[in-house]
Amino acid sequence: MRGFGINFTTRSPSRNHLSAHFLLGNSSITHVSTAAPTLPPKRVITTKPRFSDKVFRGVVTTGGFSSLVILGLISLFLLYNGLNVFKSEGLKFITGFDWIVPLPEEGLPAQYGIGAMLYGTIVIGLIALFFGFPISVGAALFLSYYAPEWLKKPMVLVIDVMAAIPSIVFGLWGFFVLMPHAEYWAKLIHKYLGFIPIFDMPANAYSRSPFIAGLVLAIMIIPIITSISREIFAQTPLDRIQAAYALGATKWSMIKAVVIPYGRGGVIGGAMLGLGRAIGETVAVYTVLNIVFDIRIEVLLSAGGSVASMIVNKFGEANPDELRALMASGFVLFLVTLLINFLANFIINRTARE
């Protein structure tokens, strides 16, 4: 044992020495092999991008601006195609509510006005918000503060699946499943609240009314408003929530004092995003709404309007002139939804940042 130890201590320095010698020798050889000792050229340190980076940045920047370009092209092409109609109709295109396409042999001037459609779009959008908004905010509160842990994940899944369902599915479901029930609800509303002018019924026609279209749209916008509200509620500072509880607040007074003031902006923004979707919805509204070019305040009556559905409705047998009017309507719809979306995103981003 002892001998081994001595051996070890005597050997290891010699080994170190050997290896050091080897290294030195090695380096001396390389020195010898190059005849004149020259230093490698000094690297030039620069922030100038290489050629490949220039190409990369150029391509990516171009691609990055594509969405702006596409939005610009959309407005340009729709405006260009609808320009004649805007010129001939003037402001009456927005305010008028006659859509008259005379036969060529009649020789009468055509009239295009989407006032009634715009009004109808706003009406069904508001009905959708009236039903969808309280349910969505309530569901978001439920998910954030009331639901037991095991229920949260499945319910978020349900909301995400609902957001993924195509609009034609809502359309057929609304027509075949919801409408028979909704007609009955409409009759009840008319029976008990018929004295209010908007629930009045001049004719016994309850199917395909703005009320039913609004209900279908409400179901379609619930996932959007719920998920945005939930995201905003999740950002409520925990210390303030706990401070409220520590002061003896009930759950509801905590929500009223902390969560709602904090998330108000985001929830309103979410509601506007939902409104934007409701306004632009085409197929689902088409199946459950009877499109009539007339402004009526009775929401239970089978007569309403929607710009998007009207475009599909008229597109099939439109002559070139009418097609231009449809393009103009599309341009108005595009501007309105873009504006609503801008505003909604602005509000949501501002709330989320605070």
- Confirm or reject binding of residue 81 to other proteins (CB under 8 A): yes
Euclidean distance between the first and the last CA atom of the chain, given in angstroms as a whole number: 73
Q: Does 269 bind other proteins (CB under 8 A)?
A: no
255 binds other proteins (CB under 8 A): yes
What is the spatial distance between Cα 33 and Cα 274, in angstroms, rounded to a whole number? 77
Name the residue with tokens 């923004």: 269
User: Does residue 160 interact with other proteins by CB under 8 A?
Assistant: yes
Q: Which stretch binds other proteins (CB under 8 A): 77-85, 91-99, 110-118, 288-296?
A: 77-85
What is the nearest approach in angstroms of other proteins to the Cβ of residue 321?
13
- C-alpha distances out from residue 160 to 28, 155, 165, 202, Å: 71, 9, 9, 41
Among 11, 251, 264, 350, binds other proteins (CB under 8 A): 251
Judged by CB under 8 A, how many residues of this single chain contact other proteins? 94
Residue numbers 214-243 binding other proteins by CB under 8 A = 219, 222, 226
With CB under 8 A as the contact rule, the residue among 93, 170, 211, 293 that binds other proteins is 170
Check binding of 176 to other proteins (CB under 8 A).
yes
Region 313-332 residues binding other proteins, contact defined as CB under 8 A: 315, 326-327, 330
Q: Which stretch binds other proteins (CB under 8 A): 24-32, 95-103, 190-198, 274-282?
A: 274-282
**Amino acid at position 21, single letter:** H
Considering the rule CB under 8 A, would residue 263 count as an interface residue with other proteins? no
CB of 120 closer than 8 Å to CB of 332:
no
Concatenating the DSSP letter of every residue in 69-82 gives: HHHHHHHHHHHHHH
The whole-angstrom separation of Cα 281 and Cα 166 is: 11
Q: Judged by CB, which is closer to other proteins: 25, or 166?
A: 166
Tokens of 168: 């034609």
Of 66-74, 102-110, 122-130, 232-240, the window that binds other proteins (rule: CB under 8 A) is 66-74
Positions in 124-143 near other proteins (CB under 8 A): 134-139, 141-143
Neighbouring CB atoms inside 10 A of 346's CB total 13
* 189 is a contact residue toward other proteins (CB under 8 A): no
Task: Confirm or reject binding of residue 351 to other proteins (CB under 8 A).
Answer: no
- Looking up tokens 């005379």, which residue turns up? 102
CA dist., res. 3 & res. 235, Å (int): 72
Q: For residues 228 and 269, give the distance between their C-alpha atoms in angstroms, rounded to a whole number.
A: 8
Structural contact between residues 303 and 209, judged by C-beta atoms closer than 8 angstroms: yes
Write the binding mask 5 to 34 for other proteins: x where contact by CB under 8 A, - elsewhere. ------------------------------
Residue 56 sits in the site that holds other proteins (CB under 8 A):
yes
